[in-house]
Structure 1
Amino acid sequence: MATSTIANLVELLETLPPELQERTVEHLREYIANLQDEARWDASFSRTETALIAAAKRAKQERAAGKATAMDYDRL
């Protein structure tokens, strides 16, 4: 079932020559994929946000207490 927004988009696409329609659809696919990726990232971040904040607070407290050590990048 097409909404009026989708119907408007189809009307706009139909005004373009076929090769521009294809290019436009490809751009839309990429744009939608990016939006979906951002939505997944936002959902993932919202699920872990509390834990990330707690970990950052612990790290800050450990650093202030002198318990932190410099990271050895060669061991990564």
Structure 2
Amino acid sequence: MKLLVRNLARTTTEQEILTLFSAHGTVNECSLVLDKETGQSKGFAFVEMADADEANNALKSLHHTTLASNKIRVKLVQD
């Protein structure tokens, strides 16, 4: 399942997101979206988890939690 993580601080790293989601299960892929011109974070990322139960648990547990002083939002990506 693919999850969208929004409202990330511009200083949040891909490793921090990976660590946060790995506490809830196996993360297949984590990609922080960067601006092509500046290389700066755009404030959102995609996290892919193979197990649907783990992904749903991560979504429920992490939606509206605080990371780097920002209240993050986690949503399921609809294909």
The structure with the greater share of residues assigned to strand is: 2
Which structure's CA Rg is the greater one?
1
The structure with the greater share of residues assigned to helix is: 1
- Greater relative contact order, per chain length (Cα 8 Å cut-off, separation 6+): 2
TM-score (ref. length: structure 2): 0.26
TM-score (ref. length: structure 1): 0.26
